[in-house]
Structure 1
Amino acid sequence: MTSMTHQYLATWFLSEEKINKILGNNSTEATDETTNASEINIPKVKDDTIEFYELADNPKFTGYYLVVKDPTRVKVGHTTKLNEEGQTTSQIAENYNAVAAVNGGAFVDQSSTSQWTGNGGIPSGIVMSGGEVVHNDLGEGNKTELLAIDKQGVMIVGKYSIDDLKERKIQEALSFGPTLVVNGKMTPMSGDGGWGIAPRTAIGQRQDGAIILLVIDGRGVGSLGATLKETQEIMYQLGAVNAMNLDGGKSTTLYYDGEVRNTPSNSMGERAIPTAIIVK
C-alpha cells in the first residue's frame, strides 16, 4: 500500500479489514504540535559553509546529506512555468543560480513519461517563495502539513494555514509530510511509519540553526531505500530538532556544485517537479 498509483490492486487479494490492520500497524501519528522558534539559535555571525556527506555503514541503502550552516541561504524555488510544466531539480537550481538543491513538495503528476508536457507542473497545498504566496489551493484559514522558513532562517514544521504563515512573517514554505521531528522529539510512529521502503528526501534544522538536506537512494542495486522510521531516526541522529519528510520516490534528487550527487530512481533520469528546496 505504499504506492499512490496502484493501491486498488490490494483490494483484489485482501479484505478491507486486513488492509486497515496492515496500515494501522505501520503509520505515523499526526501531530498538532507547533514549532517553538525560540529553541533555535541563529548565529549572529553568518557562516557560508556547506558540508557534503555520504551516509556510511548502512548495508541497506546509500544516502547523502548537506549541512547548510547559514539557514537564510535556504529558499523555495519553483519551475519557471508554475501550474503548467515542471522542471528537474537541477534545472530549478540553475534558474536561481543556486549552489545546491533537493526536490521539494507535493504536486499533481499528470504524466509518467515526459519530463515536461503535463508532468510535475502543478503543486498541491501551499507554496511560498521570497515572501510571496505563489500557490494556495486550500484557502486562507485551512491548515495543512508543511515546512516553512522565516526571515531569520528559523524553520517550522507541522500544520499551518496561510494566515498562520503571514503572522509568523514566513518567507519560504511548501506542503508535504509527515513531520518527522518537532521541538526535539520524534513524531510517534507505528511499525515502519507507513509508505514502505522507498527513496526518501527530508529537511531538518539543528538547534544551532544549520539546515540538513537529506536524500536516500532506492529501488536500485545496492540501495533498496528507507522507511519513514529509518528516515526519522537518521534526521534525529544528525541533530535535527525539527524535521519534515519531503516528496520521495522517483522525485528524490540532490544537486550540489553543478551536478546531481545521488542516483534518482526514475528511469528517465531526474523527474520534472514544480518545487525544490534550493541553497543560494
Structure 2
Amino acid sequence: MKLFKKVMFFLVFEFIFCTAFGTYLVFYGPFKNIRNTIVTSAMTTMNHKYIAKLFLNDNEINKIMDENKVDSPTESENEDAIEVKYSSNNVECINIESSRYKGYLLIVDNPRRVRIGTSSDLGKRGETLGQILKRYNAAAGINAGGFSNAMTGTGGIPSGIIIEDGRIKFIDDEKTFNIVGFNNKDVLIVGQYKYDEIENLKLRDAISFGPALIVNGKPMIKKGDGGWGIAPRTAIGQTQDGKVLLLTIDGRQKDSLGATLKDVQDILLEYGAYNASNLDGGSSATMYNDGKLVNKPSDILGERAIPSAFIVE
C-alpha cells in the first residue's frame, strides 16, 4: 500500500511538474512560434482569451498580435490583369492536406457560375449551407460572410453588406466595408471600400469579410502567421485566367487542428490565386459539392446556420 501511494505521488508530481514546466517554456522559453500561435488562436476566439491573458500582460499580447497581423492592401485590384475565359464549366474538387490540417479546394472554371446565396429569412434567421444550396438549386458552395448574432446560433443578422444580383440586399451602419465579391466583369474584388465607393465597383454579388490575403498577386502576410491563430478556415480566390478557388480547411478535430491565415494564403498562391480573401471560418466553415457535404464542420451540432454563401450555379 505504501509503495502504491509513493508511485501515485510520484506520477502526480511528475504530471504537475511537466505541465507547469512545459507551460513556462511555451510562454517564456525559446518556442516563439508555438507561443505566438497559442496567443493568436486564443485572442481570436470569443470565449478563450483568458488562455493568453493568464500568462501575458496586455502589452505583450498586443505586441504578438501586431507582429503577426495581415498588411492592408496599398493598391486596388488591377482588373485588366484578369482575363476571364469561359471555355469550360468544369468544377474540380482537390484534397488539401498537411501534417496539421485537412481541407478541400473547389476550382470553378467559369466565374459567372459563382454567386451569392442568402438565407430565406435574412436579417432574422440563417439557414445551413445545405438548405441555401437546395433553395437556389446550386451544385456546390461554401459559407461566405460573418454575422453578429453568433452566440444565439440563429445566424440571420449579417455583418457589413450583402449584394445579390446587383442589388443591395442587406447593409448595416458601418461606413467602411471589407468587400469580397464579383463585379459585372466576373472579376473578384477584395479589400476595404467606403460606402460611396461601392457603386463605382459595379458589384453583381458580394459580402463583407476579410482580411484580403492576396492583391494583384502579392501576398498580404509577409511576416508571422496572420494573427488569427489556428482554426477551421474558408477562403476564396481567383486566378488570372478567371478561375475561382473555393477553399475550406477543417479544424478543432484530432485529425485536423486547423490552419493559419498564412497557411490559407500559401495554398491559394500555390494554385495560382491573383486576388484572394479570407471568409468566415470557425464553426461556420462548410463546403458542399455535387449536393453533398464535403468537409467536417467543427460545430458539435453539425452544420451551422449562416446568412450567406458563395454558391456555384
Matches within 5 A, 1:1-280: 1-7=43-49, 10-43=52-85, 45-56=86-97, 58-111=98-151, 114=153, 119-138=154-173, 142-280=175-313
Separation of aligned partners in 1, 2:68 and 2:201: 34
Query: CA offsets, 1:69-98, max 9 Å, x none?
Result: 110110011100001001111111111111
Q: 1:190 to 1:101 in 2, by over 3 A?
A: same
Structure of higher RCO (CA pairs closer than 8 Å, 6+ residues apart): 1
Larger mean Cα displacement after TM superposition, 71-80 or 8-17: 8-17
Separation of aligned partners in 2, 1:91 and 1:152: 28
Normalised TM-score (structure 2): 0.83
Separation of aligned partners in 1, 2:74 and 2:135: 35
Gaps of 5+ in 1: none
Give the deviation of 1:66 after TM superposition. 0.5
Query: Matched residue of 1:77: which SS?
Result: strand
Larger mean Cα displacement after TM superposition, 152-161 or 235-244: 152-161
Counterpart of 2:78 in structure 1: which amino acid?
A: N
Counterpart of 1:81 in structure 2: which amino acid?
A: D
Give the deviation of 1:228 after TM superposition. 0.6
Separation of aligned partners in 2, 1:233 and 1:8: 30
Indicate if the aligned counterparts of 1:28 and 1:178 stay in contact, CA closer than 8 A. yes
By percentage of residues, which structure has more strand?
Answer: 1
Query: CA offsets, 1:214-237, max 9 Å, x none?
Result: 001011121111011111111111
Q: Percent identity?
A: 45
Query: CA offsets, 1:24-79, max 9 Å, x none?
Result: 22211222421111100012x442111111114x1211110111111011001110
Indicate if the aligned counterparts of 1:67 and 1:211 stay in contact, CA closer than 8 A. yes
Separation of aligned partners in 2, 1:257 and 1:109: 30
Separation of aligned partners in 2, 1:152 and 1:161: 21
Counterpart of 1:127 in structure 2: which amino acid?
A: I
Larger mean Cα displacement after TM superposition, 187-196 or 34-43: 187-196
Tell me which residue corresponds to 2:15.
Answer: none
Indicate if the aligned counterparts of 1:101 and 1:277 stay in contact, CA closer than 8 A. yes
By percentage of residues, which structure has more helix?
Answer: 2
Indicate if the aligned counterparts of 1:195 and 1:228 stay in contact, CA closer than 8 A. yes
Q: 1:50 to 1:89 in 2, by over 3 A?
A: same
Counterpart of 1:62 in structure 2: which amino acid?
A: K
Separation of aligned partners in 2, 1:259 and 1:209: 25
Number of corresponding residues = 271
Separation of aligned partners in 2, 1:5 and 1:171: 36
Counterpart of 2:63 in structure 1: which amino acid?
A: K
Normalised TM-score (structure 1): 0.92
Separation of aligned partners in 2, 1:189 and 1:177: 16
